[in-house]
Structure formats: structure tokens, C-alpha cells
Chains A and B, each alone.
Chain A
């Protein structure tokens, strides 16, 4: 077990939430006696990560992803189950453990808002007790990889969301953590910045052999970075394995895009017509029928162009959430 970066077994986390009915009477009753309910946020999930793995952690909102990341980073105490990160118990938050992990939350900031990022970096240097040589070496590397040079001396509040996120990521990695928890690191960023952060994470993983557990609603992040994905829903594990295998088993259809010049032909006999726009018709057909339908289309119609595509990954993952494990 010690050669695993992350080990969880039958992990549970329940929250106590207060609830009451609507209205004044219920509010007054609530003054005297609070009604509470146990909500299972994580309901018995188990998985292991080997050192150096980059794994996508997927699930709809409220699935239990952030709760799991918080348990793994030591912010939350599990209600039950086994949990270890780098052979240590996260919630004990020992110094040696905290020196080796980091948690980046896309919607929260750790940088001091009013001062330049470089000052916050210096503060992190002293917090993590980095030697000046190590600090400058890592800072130079991060500055180069994330193109931080023009940003370091501007107050954080004057940076754009994308620029700020790059600085947040750098601040979180200055101490070269071996385990990196990324909770929606690209949320709200434009496509170029998403790509930048994504390639940086891949590079960081390659150079440092760090273990990365990533949650993201942008499937492009997951597709680019993770061969393996863990899917959870309602706090339970739906799938743990190769992303490609998951996509194969949930991709029952193919999309055929046919360019005809106009939309006068009714193609419903060939498959489900998804759209018809300026002579380009998009059809959805069962995977096994693709070859037959394609040849019929080419034989029957004046086709200018034809492409066969897999459905977008977002659509497939949505189907996984709806239908459960394969």
C-alpha cells in the first residue's frame, strides 16, 4: 500500500444539515428544536492511484468530487473508511504531509489580492521553508512554463481571471508537491488559457512525476490529460478505468455529417436527422450501421463531402451520468 500515492477504501463522508418546512410557524419551532438530517456526500468509494498517474475525477455537480478532494488533502475528516496519501493520514495534517501536497481550487484564491503575486510567492517560500536556490530554480521554471514574467509585479487584483489563475497555479506548485489536487483549475477561462494551463499540468507531471487528480467540467481538460478516469455520482463510484474504454462502451452511435448543397432531401430514412444547416445535414446512426449508411448515402445522393465522427465527449459523459456504470 505504501507504494501507492493515494489509497482509499470504502470512503464515506456524511454531512449533518438542518432542515425545516416553509413558514413562520416552522421557523419558530426551529428556534426551540432544530431538525437535522444526515446527507451522504461520499458513499463508499474506493480507488488507488499510483505515483505519477494523472487521473480525471468526473461527476455532475453535487456528486461528491470536491468533498473527496478535501478529504484527500486533509481538510475534511472522513466519516468512515480507509484513506492514505503518500502513506500518511491526510486529516492529521502533519507538516511532512502538507509539504508534499497541494490543492488548487479554480473558484478560490490564495494569493493576497492587493499586492503583486511575487510577494505572495515569497511568503510561500518562507511558509514551505524553501532554500533560496530551490525557490529561484522553481520560480524560474514556472515563470518560463506559464509565461509569468509580465505578471509577477502587478497587484493580483489588476490581473485578468486567466492571468490570476496562472499565478494561483504557480503559487500552489512552488514547493514542488508530489501530489496535486486540481478542482476545476480552468473554470471560467478562455480556450487559449485553458489550453495553456492544461499543457502546463502535463509538463509538470512529466518533469516531476507528480500524481495528479483533476476534476473539471471541461472534457477537453480530461481528454488531453487523463488516460484514466474515475466517475462518481451521488457519492458512489460509477466507473474507474480507461477513458477510451468508457467512451467506447457508451458510444452506441456515430455522427455522419453530409454536405449536399441544399436541404431539400429528406434523409430521415438513413438515420436520425440532428440538424440541417445550409446544405449540411448531421445524422446520428447506430455504430454498427455506419458503413452501410455511408455507402448508401454516397450511392443515392449528390454528396459534396462526408465525414464520420464520434459524438462529443461531453455528450457521452452525460450519458454515463444518466445511465450509470457500463
Chain B
């Protein structure tokens, strides 16, 4: 265990050092992360104002709170592993990872967490600025805010496992961009990024409840904003837990099969 902690600390330091080498790229990436929810925020603010200050139970201030919260939740759960794997497999850098006596997922997790630590102050600053500009209405429910912390950790794990699993498509496909595009399109709608899930048509809400996307973003976000009842919260945790279990098992199976495929064709 101490070996693994040392590995995480070292990988964390290495990733941090590598990231800080490119300050401009870091700032541009942050702007991109802020821009997307900002666009939705502006659109929904305008819609709400033209509808007399409220749409589907969301006031203009609640929309602002939702999308500012979304920016933070998305940042804390985001991974870029799906873009990485194609490169690793095609350029053979995965070979070095396979020759090391440690599973490559550890360095990916540490790398991901370190990037969040580096960019989190920037995200908080952006949240404060957007808060001053858009005047969000937060309904803080202490137990819900406390419950949002484990929900966020579970959302991160769920997103990480599912996306790591999909990233492994690179073992079989030369171009995995099609997979990535499809996944992110579904994610955009069903995780509550374009609009709160409650505002979507009934059948999309049902689909969102069945698929994992909602539990990666919308669930911890709605919990943070105090929009869920204790029963809905318990249900959410149970579904998140089930998806994490499924994601973990799938990841192990797909990884083994993927490495076998890689070992069959070389890299």
C-alpha cells in the first residue's frame, strides 16, 4: 500500500511539473471549460427572462446557480483519457506502460487528479466572477451539500471507469474519434449539460435515468443545489454504486481483452 501511495505522489508531482510547463495552454484549456457552460447559461437566462423569469420551475437565478455549479461539477469529474488512448496505441507508447510492473490506470488517475488541483483555483475564480455577473440563487441545504461530496467522488469514479472502458476501443479500432463523438453527444443531453434533465421531454428523462450519464453530472449537481429529496438522494447513490460496480467489472474485462488484442497485433 505504501508503494502505491508513493507511486501516486510521484506521478502527481510529475504530472504537475509537466502541466506547469505550459501555462498558456493551461489558461486556454480553462477558458474552454468555462465557455461551454457560460453559453448555456446565457441562452437559458435569455429564455427565462422572455418567459417572465421562470422556465419549468427554474427561475433566472436558479439557472445561473445550475450552470455555475455545472461548470465546477463537470471540471471535477472530467477526463480526457478517451483522446489519449488512441495516441498511445497508435504510437506505441502504451508498450512502455505495459512493460512496467504497475497497472497503467494508476498513473492516469493521479494525472487526472493533479490537473484538477492545478486548475481548480482558476475555476473557483471563474465561478465567483460569473456569480457576480449573473446573480445566482442558491438554496443551500446543509445535509445535501454534505452528501454532494461523496456523490462527486462517485461521479468522478463512474465517469473515469466508463470513459477508460470506452478509451480501450483503441485496441480494436484505428480511429476511435467516432466513438468519442457519439459518447460526448449523448453525454451533452443526458447528463444535464445542455439543460437541466427536468426540463427535457419525459422519454429523455427516462432514458437519462437508465443510462449512466445523469449520475456522472446531474445527480451531484442537483444534490449540491438542494433540488433532491432524501429518498431521491438515496436512490441516486444506489444507482451510482451499481454503475460504478458495472463500470469496474467492464473495465477489467475490456482491459484484459484489449491487452490480448494488442499482444496479438503489436504496437
**Partner among B92, B98, B265 whose Cβ is within 8 Å of the Cβ of A16:** B265
With A122-B10, A126-B3, A127-B102: A155-B95 Cβ-Cβ less than 8 Å: no
* Interface-located stretch among A91-99, A265-273, A302-310, A316-324: A91-99
Bound: A105/B260 CA distance, A = 21
Q: How extensive is the interface on chain A, given as a class?
A: 20 to 34
CA distance A276 to B96 in the complex (A): 50
How far, in angstroms, from A315 to B14 measured CA to CA in the complex? 47
| Neighbouring A residues of B100 by C-beta, 8 Å | 98, 127-128
Taking the closest CB of chain A, its distance from the CB of B227, in whole angstroms, is 42
Complex interface: chain A residues within 8 A of B262 (CB): 75
Tell me the bound Cα distance from A103 to B262 in angstroms.
Answer: 17
Interface residues of B in 121-160 (CB under 8 A from A): none
The verdict on B21 contacting chain A, using a C-beta distance below 8 Å, is yes
- The residue from A16, A95, A103, A114 contacting B101, defined by CB atoms under 8 A apart: A95
Interface class of chain B by DSSP: helix
Check: A70 CB closer than 8 A to any chain B CB: yes
User: Would A102 and B21 count as touching, CB distance under 8 A?
Assistant: no
Residue A56 at the B interface, CB < 8 A?
A: no
A298 within 8 A of B: no
Closest to A171 in B: B96
Nearest residue, chain A, Cβ from B259: A93
* A75 and B267 contacting across the interface, CB-CB below 8 Å: yes
C-alpha gap A155/B20 in the complex (Å): 12
User: Are B21 and A115 closer than 8 Å at their CB atoms?
Assistant: yes
Cα-based distance from A77 to B265 in the complex (angstroms)? 9
**A75→B266 contact, CB < 8 A:** yes
Contacts of A109 in B (CB 8 A): 93
Chain A 126-137 interface 0/1 with B at a Cβ cutoff of 8 Å (1 = within):
111100000000
- Interface assignment of A123: CB less than 8 Å from any CB of chain B: yes
| Neighbour of B266 across the interface among A15, A74, A103, A119, CB < 8 A | A15
